Amino acid sequence: MALKKTDKIWMDGKFVDWDDANIHICSHVIHYGTAVFEGMRVYKTHKGPAAFRLKEHVERLLNSAKIYRMDPPFTEKQISDAILETVRVNKMEECYVRPIVFRGYEELGVNPFANPVNVSIIVWPWGKYLGEEALENGVDVCVSTWNRIAPNTLPALAKCGANYMNSQLIKMEAVLSGYVEGIALDNAGYVSEGSGENLFIVRKGMLVTPPLGASVLPGITRDCVINHARDMGIEVIEQIIPREALYIADEVFFTGSAAEITPIRSVDKIKIGPGKRGPVTKKLQERFFGVLSGEVEDRHGWLTMV
Ligand SMILES: Cc1ncc(COP(=O)(O)O)c(C=O)c1O
């Protein structure tokens, strides 16, 4: 589905018309993937639009930039304010938000230092990432033949554009084989994450998710689920997960700002539990979406009114 245009894009402090938001072909980012970015959502609550976990997303953006020695010419507050302003200017009630920090145009060698660090913020309406039905019915996924990026190659904790070349290999293979998504194993052969989602399994009432050392992105939705589960008295452990633990789990689900909490109903054509959304996944979804709509108290202060 084509991206739905909005009115304005924020580029280095100025609003530019959507159709004029261009960069030069010699920009470093185009040749070497020199970008770090975020993906977050603004939700429609009964009090108006609210940005979900704005602070954590901007913090992760700046941490990703720090890992790549990029020094954006805007502070954390300026970027946060600009995100809210971009949502307001485009009159969005709910939307996806993509802030991106990238190396622009000056020199085209691998050494990036001569190139400016540019910042842009794009907002657009975006529905359910893995399909409308997916949240209720679950998705069919496979284990990818591609591994996740190995430690000390591309840093997994940084949400860097280049990492998504690995994600694309995982996603394309899955889609061409008739699955909605692929799960990648880490370099040691343990479960890591989906091409754009973290992963949890439920086993005997307990939640298990791979640790940060398993080449996963430190997901903000992952953190929400860990907090919600603990608030609900569900035990959560971060532990390496062998591939076969997926097949014998009671429930498996993905988390992500795009995918939200999406149940997985089969892995490699092996039915997970009864082959539909399980009770723990459902309870976690109800709490998650309850906070987003404003029906469940936002006790962690995760919503920022636009
Ligand atoms: C590779 C990868 N893992 C996990 C996630 C989930 O992270 P978050 O919940 O912060 O969106 C994403 C989405 O950004 C992702 O791209």
In the chain, alpha helices (H): 28-32, 54-67, 76-89, 134-137, 163-176, 220-231, 243-247, 279-293
User: Does the beta carbon of 49 lie inside 6 Å of ligand 1?
Assistant: no
> Is 80 exceeded by the pLDDT of residue 132?
no
pLDDT of residue 119: 98
pLDDT of residue 127: 81
> Is 80 exceeded by the pLDDT of residue 162?
yes
User: Does the beta carbon of 72 lie inside 6 Å of ligand 1?
Assistant: no
How far is residue 112's CA from residue 241's CA, in Å, rounded to a whole number?
Answer: 37
Output the residue whose Cα is nearest ligand 1's atom 5.
197
pLDDT of residue 301: 95
Per-residue pLDDT band for 2 (boundaries 50, 70, 90) equals confident
Count of beta carbons in the 10 Å neighbourhood of residue 272: 26
> Is 90 exceeded by the pLDDT of residue 293?
no
Q: Could you tell which of 149, 221, 253 is best to mutate to test the pocket of ligand 1, judged by most ligand atoms within 8 Å of the CB? A: 221
Q: Which atom of ligand 1 is nearest to the CA of 163?
A: 1
C-alpha of residue 197 to centroid of ligand 1, in Å? 5
Per-residue pLDDT band for 46 (boundaries 50, 70, 90) equals confident
Q: Which helix (H) or strand (E) holds 79?
A: helix 76-89
Nearest to 34 by CA among 126, 165, 188: 165
End-to-end CA distance of the chain: 27
Output the residue whose Cα is nearest ligand 1's atom 1.
196
User: Does the beta carbon of 257 lie inside 6 Å of ligand 1?
Assistant: yes
Active-site residue numbers?
Answer: 159
pLDDT of residue 128: 78
User: Does the beta carbon of 197 lie inside 6 Å of ligand 1?
Assistant: yes
How far is residue 16's CA from residue 100's CA, in Å, rounded to a whole number?
Answer: 15
Per-residue pLDDT band for 295 (boundaries 50, 70, 90) equals confident
Mean pLDDT calculated for residue range 141-157: 97
pLDDT of residue 83: 98
Nearest to 30 by CA among 122, 113, 126, 115: 115
User: Does the beta carbon of 161 lie inside 6 Å of ligand 1?
Assistant: no
pLDDT of residue 37: 98
> Is 80 exceeded by the pLDDT of residue 159?
yes
How far is residue 196's CA from residue 167's CA, in Å, rounded to a whole number?
Answer: 7
User: Does the beta carbon of 222 lie inside 6 Å of ligand 1?
Assistant: yes
> Is 90 exceeded by the pLDDT of residue 67?
yes
Per-residue pLDDT band for 131 (boundaries 50, 70, 90) equals confident
Q: What is the mean pLDDT of the chain?
A: 96
Per-residue pLDDT reduced to its tens digit, 196-252? 999 999 999 999 999 999 999 999 999 999 999 999 999 999 999 999 999 999 999
Whole-number Cα distances in Å, 265 to 89, 120, 125, 179, 281: 40, 37, 27, 11, 11
